[in-house]
Amino acid sequence: MSSRPAPLIPPRLRAVLVRVPFLVRIVRFARRGPLARDRNLLITLCAVALVIGGLAARVSTEWFSPSLLILVTLIGGLQLRLRSLAVLILAVVVALGFVAVVHGQRHVGPGLLVTMGFTSVLAAMMSRTRGKLGVQGLRGDAMLLELRDRLKSQSELPALPRDWGAKVVLKQAGGSSFGGDFVVSMREADRLELALVDVSGKGVDAGTRALLLSGAFGGLLGSVPDFLPACNTYLHRQREGEGFVTAVHLSLDLSSGAYVITSAGHPPVVKFEAGSGAWKVASAKGVVLGVVPDLHCEADSGVLRKGDALLLYTDGLIEQPGRDIDAGLDRLLGEAERLLASGYREGARTLVNAMSSGHNDDCALVLIWRP
């Protein structure tokens, strides 16, 4: 049998300490409620601020510079609640005032006061944002990074057989980590299900909604027989409509190459036929998701043979201010014929860069081919 570890405080000493009301109140105050950590940190930072002020005034401003209070304020902005931060700022003001009374404006000049004011405002903004999110420190940034990584991992296609190739290219507006274009996919045996979705807006503004919809659409993909109608029903049930959503769905049989394409307000899929050496536009079309309660899609089907390829993309590749969409589609087909001739895998990224140059919009491309 394992023996219990010895207590930190001997029982006799603990019995004596419990009888002292003042010590009991201090212990209860430090351990009371869920905000004990915030309270204890506030007390510590206030004590540090006052000690720095006292040492700067009485000992040396070279060793204990009043500018150290800037660091104390920043720590409070990263860790404390807004009310606690206000108390800390008051303690910092008292410390600076004490130094100013002893040394005058030599060490507490206008430059330091302006810097402290700016730091206090910045710390208050950080504390207020964290209060809304309910997180401490830099946990909010870590959550965003984790969401970004999850969105990127969802955009990765499952492993395909040797006689198939695929490439996904996502390029967000302004170099942002978030955007309104995303891909969801799944593979079950020889059946590949894939959907390319475009949320209205661009960059970070559309990224939050794309994160939400990627989880919902990823759960529906492969779980319901009619994917796009199920997505439309989900969006139509939402109480508040926030812009439109377009999507294209591809169901591909990896053993035979047979495919079915359904579209909801999305730019048309194009197919490369190795026999004729030409790119052809698919006829699949439908209404934008979330607009009508009952979605009807006109599907397009066919077979991918050796050397054939399918190109799915978002409107960021063909839409440009002041130009017609058909002109953008013709340009896409011309660039695809020129750039993808040397190889699909290397040419996909080059095609996106060539089509997206000159405008700032989210772009996405999915290329599937049979070598």
* Residue 28: pLDDT over 80: no
pLDDT band at 314 (very low <50, low <70, confident <90, very high): confident
Q: Give the tens place of pLDDT for each residue, 48-78.
A: 888 888 888 777 777 878 888 888 888 888 8
Q: Give the tens place of pLDDT for each residue, 185-240.
A: 999 889 999 999 988 766 666 777 777 788 888 888 888 888 998 898 888 887 65
Cα gap 17→152, rounded to integer Å:
57
* Residue 21: pLDDT over 70: no
Looking at the DSSP bridge assignments, the partners of residue 368 are 166, 310
Q: Strand 270-273: give its sheet, edge to edge.
A: 165-171, 363-369, 309-313, 270-273, 278-281
Cα gap 94→82, rounded to integer Å:
19
Q: What is the pLDDT of residue 34?
A: 46
Distances (CA, A) of 294 to 29, 221, 283, 289: 60, 18, 20, 10
Q: Tokens 């491309």 appear where?
A: 365
Write down all domains in the chain, each with its CATH number in brackets: 11-137 (no CATH), 143-370 (3.60.40.10)
List, as own/partner pairs, every contact residues 157-163 make where C-beta atoms lie below 8 angstroms and the sequence separation is at least 24, other chains included. 157/183, 157/185, 157/194, 157/366, 158/185, 158/186, 158/187, 158/192, 159/187, 160/187, 160/192, 160/254, 161/254, 163/370, 163/371
Q: Give the tens place of pLDDT for each residue, 71-104.
A: 888 888 888 888 888 889 998 888 888 888 776 6
